[in-house]
Amino acid sequence: MNGQNDPQDLQEPVNINTDENTPGDQHLNEPVAEESELGLLKTKLEEKNDQYLRLAAEFDNFKRRTAKERVELIQTAGKDVIVSLLEVLDDAARAEGQMDKTEDLGQIREGIRLVFQKLRSTLGARGLKPMEAKGTEFNPDLHEAITEIPAGDEMQGKVVDEVTKGYYLNEKIIRFAKVVVGK
Distance CA 123, CA 133 (A): 19
Q: Taking CA 172 as the corner, what is the angle to CA 166 and CA 177, rounded to the nearest 5 degrees? A: 15
Q: Which of 126, 141, 166 finishes a domain?
A: 126
Query: pLDDT higher for 119 or 99?
Result: 119
Mean pLDDT over 167-174 rounds to 94
Hey, what amino acid is at 116? F
Q: Taking CA 99 as the corner, what is the angle to CA 94 and CA 101, rounded to the nearest 5 degrees? A: 95
Mean pLDDT over 29-39 rounds to 71
Confidence tier at 128 by pLDDT (50, 70, 90):
very high
Mean pLDDT over 140-147 rounds to 93
Which helix or strand (DSSP H or E) is residue 33 part of?
helix 24-101
CB neighbour class for 20 (10 Å; exposed up to 12, middle 13-18, buried from 19): exposed
Least confident of 5-14, 36-45, 118-127, 135-144: 5-14
Indicate whether 141 and 98 sit together in one domain: no
Q: Which of 126, 145, 164 finishes a domain?
A: 126
Indicate whether 111 and 138 sit together in one domain: no
pLDDT in the model for residue 7: 54
Distance CA 173, CA 32 (A): 73
Q: What domain range is 110 assigned to? A: 27-126
Task: List strand residue ranges (DSSP E) for 30-92, in order.
Answer: none
Least confident of 54-63, 95-104, 130-139, 141-150: 95-104
Mean pLDDT over 35-54 rounds to 93
pLDDT in the model for residue 158: 93
Mean pLDDT estimate for the chain: 85
Task: List strand residue ranges (DSSP E) for 134-171, in order.
Answer: 143-149, 159-164, 167-169
Residues in Cβ contact with 115 at an 8 Å cutoff, skipping those fewer than 6 apart: 88, 91, 92, 95
First and final CA of the chain: distance in angstroms? 133
Residue 17 domain-assigned?
no
Mean pLDDT over 79-102 rounds to 88
Indicate whether 113 and 135 sit together in one domain: no
CB neighbour class for 30 (10 Å; exposed up to 12, middle 13-18, buried from 19): exposed
Looking at residue 149, which CATH number applies to its domain?
2.30.22.10
Residue 18 domain-assigned?
no
Q: Taking CA 92 as the corner, what is the angle to CA 87 and CA 96, rounded to the nearest 5 degrees? A: 150
Residue 13 domain-assigned?
no
Indicate whether 121 and 31 sit together in one domain: yes
Indicate whether 148 and 107 sit together in one domain: no
- How many domains does the structure of the chain reveal? 2
Q: Over 90: is that where the pLDDT of 146 sits?
A: yes
